Every structure is written in structure tokens, then in C-alpha cells.
Amino acid sequence: MSDPYAPDAVMPEGRWIRGNFAGEKIEAGERRPLRVIRGAQAAPFSPKTGEIVAANFRHEGRFWIVKFDPSAVERVIFQKWDFGEKRVRLGALGRTFVDFELLHVAHTELRFKFREGRGAVLFEQRAYEPDEAAAPSGDRIDDAVNSIEAVSARGEPFGVWGGLTNRFVAVRRFKSLKENFFERVIRERRVVEQWDLLMDDGRKARLFERAVRESDSDGLEVLYHLFRRSCTTEAFRLIDSEMNYGYRTWRTFFRRIPHVPELYLWARGLLKPGGGSRMPPLGEEKAEWRAELRDRLKRDRQ
């Protein structure tokens, strides 16, 4: 069955640097932006006032149509994991003298936890008739993760140089926490650190809705840039758009370097006092998922 919401886009041209792949078809793979479904097309999902229906939500290795209620967001959790462009090792006679990551950076994501019983509802991703009543698939999703990532043509792998020279577009993905656990903890073996942000309920709801709307509006049309439009710059831009920092406003300048985002949170006053924002790493918090998702990885590799 064909997917009516599969993206069909080409790499845009940069303003100053055209980019190697301008005009070529983007290979999005598992990295798709949301596509908000409106009007008569949303009728099969019976959205209530304020609810949003969108396609291309990633869960259990598939894309789904999802129905969100922004007012159901209970917590906004900042996630981070570290990586390096290249690892440098020097040694002799069985001893290592130098071992470090060149161009060490961090990837950041926003996790939205919904109130109990008010999680996101999933539906099979396909075409529906306007008078059809769509049936929900499985249990509600308790957590959604918004991750700004880089995609390109020809399956180009991410690299720092490419992130500076218009080889990628910035895609605003949405996926379940379980899917994120699979990708980050199981497949990539990352340690995902987490901070529960200090923010009132109104701002949490508006932040979530803005993230969803921008995923749809940006699509695959906005070029990625490591210091101007990356996972870190965009996560903080979204947060800053809903906050009033008072005398701390000048500190919003600190978001450009994707290295120490937890310091940027502290500078904005978004962390609870006494280390109260710090949560266990995702791999520890949801350790019960490990066995199941390791089996999934084995199946995927067969």
C-alpha cells in the first residue's frame, strides 16, 4: 500500500553556498517531518477543539498518523547525547597515550511527557475517506520526542563540514520515546542525559504546539547549519520563543555551539534548584525496554 504522506522533496539551494546536492531528491528514510492534516481530511480522526492531527509520527519502526492535545503536556524534558566527528588514538607498545574525540559536539532533543490517560493516539498511516471512522491502533503514547536532524541526497552521512556547507536540510522529527530509545540507546549505543525543565503549564503547551506546527511548515525545505540551524540552536530557539527570562534575557545568546547545552539551560534559569532537574539517563529510566528492542535490532539486521 502506498504511503500518501511520504515526502517528495529536493535539496534547496543555499543563499551564499549552493551546496553539492542542490536540486537532487532528498532521501529522508526514517527522518520525516510531520504533516498536519486539516479540514475534511482530519474528520476520520474526530479531533476535539485544540487537538492536532498529523502524519509521519515514528513509532516501532513505522510511520503513523497521530492525534495530539497540546494541553495534555505535563513535562518538558531536555535530552542530550555526546558524539565526536572523529576519534583520535595514539599509542605504542600496548599503551594508549592519546585518546580523544575531534570536534566534540552534542545532539539535543525535546521530550514531551503527556498527562496520564491523555497521551497521543495513533492511527494506521494510509488514505481515509472523509466519512470513514478511523480506529485507534494500540495504546496511547505517553511521551513524544522532537528531534531536529540532518538529511540529504544520496544517503550522505552527517559530518561537521557538510553541516557548514549546505549539504543537508534540517528535518523536525517527531517520534515516540520508545522509538528514540531504540535509535539512541540500542542501535547507536548512546548515553542520553535528561533534565526536567522548570516551565509553567501554559508555556509547555504552547512550546509543544509550536514545535509541531514548525515541523509541518518547514518540511524538507530549510537548510541545516551547525551554528545557525541545528538540533541545539533550534531547541533553544523554540524554548526561548515561549519564555520571559527577565534580567537573564541576554543569556539567550548562548545557544550557537552544540557542546554544553546543560550550561545554556542553567544560564536561562530553566533548571530546578539543588539538582532537582537532573533525571536518570534514558537507558536507565526505561531499562525494561532493552531486551525487547535488542531483539528488534537483531531482526532488522537479518
> Grid coordinates representing 294?
535488542
Q: Please tell me the predicted confidence (pLDDT) of residue 68.
A: 97
Q: Per the structure, how many domains does the chain have?
A: 1
> Is 177 within the bounds of a domain?
yes
Q: With beta carbons less than 8 A apart as the criterion, state whether 231 and 108 touch.
A: yes
> Grid coordinates representing 176?
515516540
> Is 176 within the bounds of a domain?
yes
- pLDDT tens digits in sequence order for the chain, 302 residues long: 689 999 999 988 876 556 677 888 999 999 999 999 999 999 999 999 999 999 999 999 999 999 999 999 999 999 999 875 555 555 666 665 555 444 557 889 999 999 999 999 999 999 999 899 999 998 899 999 999 999 988 777 887 778 888 889 999 999 999 999 999 999 999 999 999 999 999 999 999 999 999 999 999 999 998 888 899 889 999 998 888 877 666 555 555 555 678 888 888 889 988 889 999 999 999 999 999 999 999 999 98
Q: Among residues 254, 216, 257, 239, which one has the least CA distance to residue 110?
A: 239
> Grid coordinates representing 246?
527577565
Number of H helices, E strands in the chain: 6, 10
Q: Which helix (H) or strand (E) holds 63?
A: strand 62-68
Single-letter code of the amino acid located at 93: L
Q: Please tell me the predicted confidence (pLDDT) of residue 101.
A: 45
What's the rounded Cα separation, in Å, for the pair 229 and 24?
Answer: 21
Burial environment of residue 240 by CB neighbours within 10 A (0 to 12, 13 to 18, 19 or more): middle
> Is 10 within the bounds of a domain?
no
> Is 3 within the bounds of a domain?
no
Q: Please tell me the predicted confidence (pLDDT) of residue 259.
A: 62
Task: Write the secondary structure of 252-279 as one string of H (helix), E (strand) and C (coil).
Answer: HHCCCCCCCHHHHHHHCCCCCHHHCCEE
Domain that holds residue 44: 35-297
> Is 13 within the bounds of a domain?
no
pTM: 0.89
Q: With beta carbons less than 8 A apart as the criterion, state whether 41 and 71 touch.
A: no
What's the rounded Cα separation, in Å, for the pair 76 and 195?
Answer: 9
> Is 23 within the bounds of a domain?
no
> Is 104 within the bounds of a domain?
yes
Cβ-Cβ contacts under 8 Å for 285 (sequence gap 6 or more): 194, 279
| C-beta pairs of 182-188 under 8 Å, 24+ apart in sequence | 182/61, 182/289, 182/293, 182/296, 182/297, 184/81, 184/282, 185/282, 185/283, 185/290, 185/293, 186/290, 186/293, 186/294, 186/296, 186/297, 187/297
